[in-house]
């Protein structure tokens, strides 16, 4: 059996499974649209429940279209020869070498970005606008886009150059050195992002003195959590959705609240939401996720190190490699295009682990703060974010990083009682 056949089987199976799961979710949400679940009947109105159902279905239909376009682009790049045509054109223009290989990868990123742009525009200015969540103007949309491209270029191109140079000069174990470089870079980004990158997109102001700050500081003391500061982020300039998170590592950890979250929740509820986020840190979820991420990237680089030397990997995917020369960028491009088709089937494992962590963080919040306040906060967030209360169980098992609302609230009631 050729790799072409293996790839096609995985491609059809993954695309078909994505579509089937999305259709299941659409049907299940639509079937339960006209009745609020009994456990939420006193807090969620029928209009709010129907808005959540309509919002969920609209997002899924857009995702189905995006998946279809992505599938067409993948086949066009691989089996229909798009990547081969692009590679030959750049070889004729730039000649062989790392510059040409970087140009190949940058071209793929540019093409993908251009194709994705209409979907991002539609989602922001039609879908989010339709349901009352969009607060972003068109000027800010394009400003964010240009900043993202500039940052991606400034950070991505040097990183690509290092990896491609290692592929060329570091011998058979280039992949090990490349993995080490990427791992160190990932750790550095934990510090670089909140300190230098995030302020380019949002304003961060210190949380004002008052009852909320006093309550939060008391929680941090109870949890033995040291932070660099408490900040409020102007998330409202883009969206009505609310959130809280902490970013950074070591002494650089900072706690950030969306201004929309503080507007919608009372101090006790904000404290409970933060206690949940602190639970992820105290239960070592972040450390575990980093370890798993490093282990998976190690395995992927090891696989790339081997498969990039196999001629069939290129030819069976519609590309002719340079048999006597350098194929680093070509190997990376093919691998990044094709590997998600296969890794997609591991999604339920990551989702299961994530839901387990959410339950553990809820338990921590119930212990250090208040289960009752967390329940109240979650219900408000479900309402304000138009999150469906009636997801399909199979869709949830496959995709959802958080437990479905009824199960999560029921679990918290165990602590509150």
Active-site residue numbers? Answer: 277, 362
Distance CA 131, CA 17 (A): 28
**Structure-block tokens of residue 223:** 């949890």
Q: Kindly report the backbone phi and psi dihedral angles of residue 249, in degrees, each rounded to the nearest multiple of 5, phi listed first.
A: -135, 155
Q: DSSP letters along 160-212, please?
A: HHHHHHHHHHSGGGHHHHHHHHHHHHHHHHHHHIIIIIHHHHS-EEEPPSSHH
Decide: residue 203, CB within 10 A, 0-12 exposed, 13-18 middle, 19+ buried: exposed
**DSSP code of 385?**
T
Tell whether 358 is in a known binding site: yes
Distance CA 322, CA 104 (A): 14
Whether 53 and 388 have beta carbons less than 8 Å apart is answered as yes
Tell whether 276 is in a known binding site: yes
Tell whether 357 is in a known binding site: no
**Structure-block tokens of residue 282:** 């105290």
Q: DSSP letters along 273-311, please?
A: HHHHHHHHHHTTHHHHHHHHHHHHHHHHHHHHHHHTT-H
Q: Kindly report the backbone phi and psi dihedral angles of residue 258, in degrees, each rounded to the nearest multiple of 5, phi listed first.
A: -65, 140
Distance CA 304, CA 102 (A): 17
Strand partners, 233: 204, 258
Whether 378 and 409 have beta carbons less than 8 Å apart is answered as yes
Cβ burial 159-193 (10 Å sphere, 16+ → b, else e): ebeebbebbeeeeeebbbbbbeebbeeeeeebbee
Cα three-residue angle 29-33-35, rounded to 5 degrees = 125
Whether 333 and 317 have beta carbons less than 8 Å apart is answered as no
Distance CA 335, CA 346 (A): 17
Please, which residues have CB within 8 angstroms of residue 271's CB and are 6 or more apart in sequence? Answer: 215, 216, 219, 369, 370, 373
Residues contributing to the annotated binding site for Zn(2+): 276, 280, 358
């Amino acid at each position: 059996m050729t790799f072409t056949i293996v790839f096609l089987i995985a491609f059809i199976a993954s695309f078909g499974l994505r579509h089937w799961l999305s259709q299941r979710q659409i049907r299940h949400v639509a079937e339960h649209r006209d009745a609020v679940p009994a456990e939420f009947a006193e807090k969620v109105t029928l209009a709010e429940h129907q808005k959540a159902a309509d919002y969920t279905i609209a997002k899924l239909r857009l995702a189905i279209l995006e998946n279809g376009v992505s599938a067409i682009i993948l086949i066009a790049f691989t089996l229909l020869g798009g990547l081969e045509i692009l590679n030959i054109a750049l070889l004729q223009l730039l000649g062989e070498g790392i510059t040409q290989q970087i140009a190949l990868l940058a071209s793929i990123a540019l093409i993908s970005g251009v194709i994705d742009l209409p979907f991002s525009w539609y989602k922001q200015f039609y879908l989010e606008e339709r349901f009352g969540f969009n607060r972003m103007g068109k000027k800010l949309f394009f400003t964010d886009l240009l900043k993202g491209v500039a940052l991606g270029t400034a950070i991505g191109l040097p990183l690509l150059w290092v990896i491609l140079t290692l592929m060329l000069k570091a011998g058979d174990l280039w992949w090990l050195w490349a993995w080490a470089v990427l791992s160190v870079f990932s750790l550095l980004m934990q510090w670089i992002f909140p300190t230098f990158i995030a302020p380019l997109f949002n304003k961060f102001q210190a949380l004002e003195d008052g009852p909320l700050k006093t309550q939060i500081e008391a929680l941090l003391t109870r949890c033995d959590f040291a932070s660099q500061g408490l900040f409020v982020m102007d998330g409202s300039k883009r969206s009505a959705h609310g959130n809280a998170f902490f970013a950074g590592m070591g002494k650089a950890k900072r706690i950030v609240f969306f201004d929309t979250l503080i507007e919608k929740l009372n101090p006790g509820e904000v404290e409970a939401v933060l206690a949940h986020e602190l639970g992820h840190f105290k239960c070592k979820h972040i450390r575990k996720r980093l370890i798993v991420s490093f282990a998976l990237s190690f395995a992927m680089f090891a696989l790339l190190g081997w498969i990039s030397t196999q001629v069939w990997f290129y030819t069976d995917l519609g590309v002719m490699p340079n048999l006597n020369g350098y194929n680093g960028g070509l190997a990376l491009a093919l691998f990044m295009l094709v590997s998600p088709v296969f890794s997609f089937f591991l999604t339920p494992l990551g989702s299961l682990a994530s839901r387990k962590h959410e339950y553990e963080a809820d338990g921590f919040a119930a212990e250090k703060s208040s289960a009752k306040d967390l329940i109240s906060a979650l219900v408000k967030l479900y309402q304000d974010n138009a999150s469906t209360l009636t997801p399909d169980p199979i869709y949830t098992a496959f995709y959802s990083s958080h437990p479905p609302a009824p199960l999560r609230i029921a679990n918290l009631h165990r602590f509150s009682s």
